[in-house]
Amino acid sequence: MARYIVRRLLWMIPVLFFISIVTFALAHAVPGGPFDREKPLPAEIVANLNKYYGLDQPLWKQYTDYIGLTRNPAGEFAGVLEGKFGPSYSSRSRTVNDIFRDHLPVSATLGLAALAIAVGMGVPLGVLAALKQNTFWDYLSMAVAIFGVSVPVIVLGPLFILIFALTLHWFPVAGWGRPSQMVMPSFALGLGSSAIIARLTRASMLQVIREDYIRTARAKGLSERMVIIRHALKNAFIPVATILGPMFAALVTGTFVTEQIFAIPGMGKYFITSITNRDYPVVMGTILLYAVFLVLANLVVDITYAFLDPRIQYE
């Protein structure tokens, strides 16, 4: 198991290396520079700025500087490998690390809240549907599920604002910080995923409760509640766990949309404006960071597997 984890972690190195090269090339291939303005700055100033940030260097040197393999114009190793994501060209008083520190927690909180809602609603709905198969409850939860899959956050967001903020006045229209401001965005983002989880839980639960070991558990006189929680649910959760990794990734990137709708000061706004502003370090840093999240989330899921199902073994 330990060897497996180490191997997976080592595999991250070429993956992230590749992603950084592709992202760097793509970001720099977008025409224009970070100091292009509608009213152009004097050429000398642009030249000085480019020199200061090392943008006059050949592209490969800029890349190695960014990664931290070579000394930057200031003569020091200050790249991603040293934990420094560089300066932000458009908000010049702050580094990319500052931006991460201020705005990443917001996005992460939103993503996690949505995930909590997805699991917290999806699993019970799925279990209920499976245990009461072909009854009203089954149809109701599956109707909720198909609604959740079909109505994307971009529709749910404005709809929530219209109903719960403007008509019923339960929650504030937008913003972030107070718990009441977090309810609508988290639900808007998490509902779709909860639908996917509900459908998957139902399917896998239906399969598991027909297994022999469930009959055995009942036969030895366990209470129904015990059978469901200890034996059925634990095994039914395995397929659900497999999609939690990709789902978390989707939710984390989904925060971008949600943040736009509810005016939440997360990473979304920074990433989108940084692309149009050619703010390369912000673009690169965000993509790399999210890629690390993604790879780690998938690893955690694979490890969780092994705990849930002892039959799964990694060598």
Partner 1 sequence: MTTQERAVQRLTNGTPVPKGQERKVTNLWLDALQRLLRNKAAVLGGIIVILLILMAIFADQIAPYHYAEGDSNENYMVPLWLTKVMPGHMEKYAKIGDKFILGADYLGRDILSRIIYGARVSLPVGFAGALTALVIGLVYGSISGYYGGKVDNIMMRIVDIMYAFPTMLLIILLMAFFKTSFGGANEPGTAAYTFNQINKIVDRFLGLEGGGMLFIFMGIGITAWMGIARLARGQILSLKEKEFIEAARMIGASDLRIIVRHILPNIIGPILVTVTLNIPGYISTEVFLSFIGLGVDPPTPSWGSMISEGSRAIRSYPNQVLFPALALAITMFAFNFLGDGLRDALDPRMRGTS
Sites of contact with partner 1 (CB under 8 A): 11, 14-16, 18-19, 22-23, 26-27, 29-32, 146, 149-152, 154-155, 157-159, 161-162, 166-167, 173, 199-200, 202-203, 206, 249, 252-254, 256-257, 260-261, 271-272, 275-276, 283, 286-287, 290-291, 293-295
Q: Least separation, in Å, of the C-beta of 195 and partner 1?
A: 10
Type of residue found at 227: V
Which of 192, 298, 295 lies closest to 245, judged by CA?
Answer: 298
Spatial distance between the Cα atoms of 167 and 306, rounded to a whole number of angstroms: 48
Q: Least separation, in Å, of the C-beta of 281 and partner 1?
A: 14
Q: Which is nearer to partner 1, 79 or 157 (CB)?
A: 157
Q: Which is nearer to partner 1, 49 or 296 (CB)?
A: 296
Q: Which is nearer to partner 1, 73 or 124 (CB)?
A: 124
Q: Least separation, in Å, of the C-beta of 89 and partner 1?
A: 16
Q: Which is nearer to partner 1, 65 or 279 (CB)?
A: 279
Q: Which is nearer to partner 1, 77 or 314 (CB)?
A: 314
Is residue 183 within 8 A of residue 163, CB to CB? The reply is: no
Which of 111, 108, 107 lies closest to 186, judged by CA?
Answer: 111
Q: Which is nearer to partner 1, 55 or 249 (CB)?
A: 249
Is residue 186 within 8 A of residue 117, CB to CB? The reply is: yes
Q: Least separation, in Å, of the C-beta of 20 and partner 1?
A: 11
Q: Least separation, in Å, of the C-beta of 153 and partner 1?
A: 9
- Count the residues in the chain: 315
Q: Least separation, in Å, of the C-beta of 214 and partner 1?
A: 18
Is residue 74 within 8 A of residue 82, CB to CB? The reply is: no
